[in-house]
Amino acid sequence: MKWIPWRAFVLALILCIGSAATLAAQTSQETTLIMVTEVWPPYRMDDPASPSGFRGIDIDLCLALEKRLGIRIDIQRVPWARALDMMKSGQADIITGIARTSEREAFLHYLPTSYSVVRPMFLAPKGQGSLVRSYDDLYGKSIGQSTHSAYFPRFNTDNALNKQSLSTETQILQMLALKRIDLAIGTDPNLSWDIARLGLRDSVEPTAWQPEERTELFLAISRKSPAAALLERMDAALRAMIADGSIAAIQAAYR
């Protein structure tokens, strides 16, 4: 009879430890966010040595947010079109390096603060850049673009242009170099990185006319994700990183 209280105590202790472990696991799951993305240098670049398989501006941004907010971000590689579908359905929580459009705002909560800016850029095969001296010169030419990408308002909504959608900017540049399309549109500095990486500096060139618009990049949260509750905290952390120079330091590391 003397051992019964002791056995009861041990049993209660085991149950408490089990409950604590379960609670810890649940808490960990609740603070793990799924981010979906694809290669887009210098924001996301291949890095087999990295746990996520990526390095770049967006990756360093996410690592900093993890520390400041006490969360974990699980970065998953999927094609851009698939990434948008996953954000729309709530299968993914966050996405980075995304331009703001009214269509996307229907399924995304954008952080109010932009963390970077890119500019739309047209390219032509080497020696043919001078053929495009105004926006009107785009008509009648096949223009390679990334599927579901946004560049600048007039281009995005112009259905009279002959736009050829492809999965990646790498495919677009390769087709342009082979003269299978007349022009390509992308964003810089991304295009400059890809041109250098693919060894295409002698095969393509910027067109004489370039848009004046600049595209702000944002971090966004799926409207169907519980992570929407983090919107204000995440934006506050981002604003703090801009104020203390952390964002500028991250960007400078990839110039």
For range 7-22, the mean pLDDT: 43
Beta strands in the chain (DSSP E): 32-37, 45-46, 54-55, 72-77, 94-98, 108-110, 116-125, 142-146, 162-166, 183-188, 204-206, 215-222
For range 19-26, the mean pLDDT: 39
**Each residue's pLDDT tens digit, 60-115:** 999 999 999 999 999 999 999 999 999 999 999 999 999 999 999 999 999 999 99
Choice among 27-41, 117-131, 238-252 with the minimum mean pLDDT: 27-41
b/e for 236-246, b at 16 or more Cβ within 10 A?
ebbeebeeeeb
Q: What is the DSSP letter of 241?
A: H
Computed over every residue of the chain, the mean pLDDT equals: 89
Residue 225 has pLDDT above 60, yes or no: yes
% the chain with pLDDT above 70: 88
- Rounded to the nearest angstrom, the gap between the alpha carbon of residue 109 and the centroid of all alpha carbons in its chain is 14
Res 169: pLDDT: 86
| pLDDT band with cut points at 50, 70 and 90 for residue 168 | confident
Residue 4 has pLDDT above 70, yes or no: no
Res 72: pLDDT: 97
The rounded distance, in Å, linking the Cα atoms of 63 and 47 is 15
The rounded distance, in Å, linking the Cα atoms of 145 and 120 is 11
Tell me how many degrees the CA angle 77-104-87 measures, rounded to the nearest 5: 35
% the chain with pLDDT above 90: 81
- Tally of CA atoms within 13 A in the half-sphere of 163 that contains its CB: 19
Domains belonging to the chain, first-starting first, are: 29-116+215-252 (3.40.190.10), 120-206 (3.40.190.10)
For range 162-180, the mean pLDDT: 94
Res 28: pLDDT: 39
- Rounded to the nearest angstrom, the gap between the alpha carbon of residue 51 and the centroid of all alpha carbons in its chain is 17
For range 193-216, the mean pLDDT: 95
Res 81: pLDDT: 92
Measured between alpha carbons, how far apart are the two ends of the chain, in Å?
A: 75
**Each residue's pLDDT tens digit, 122-149:** 999 999 999 999 999 999 999 999 988 8
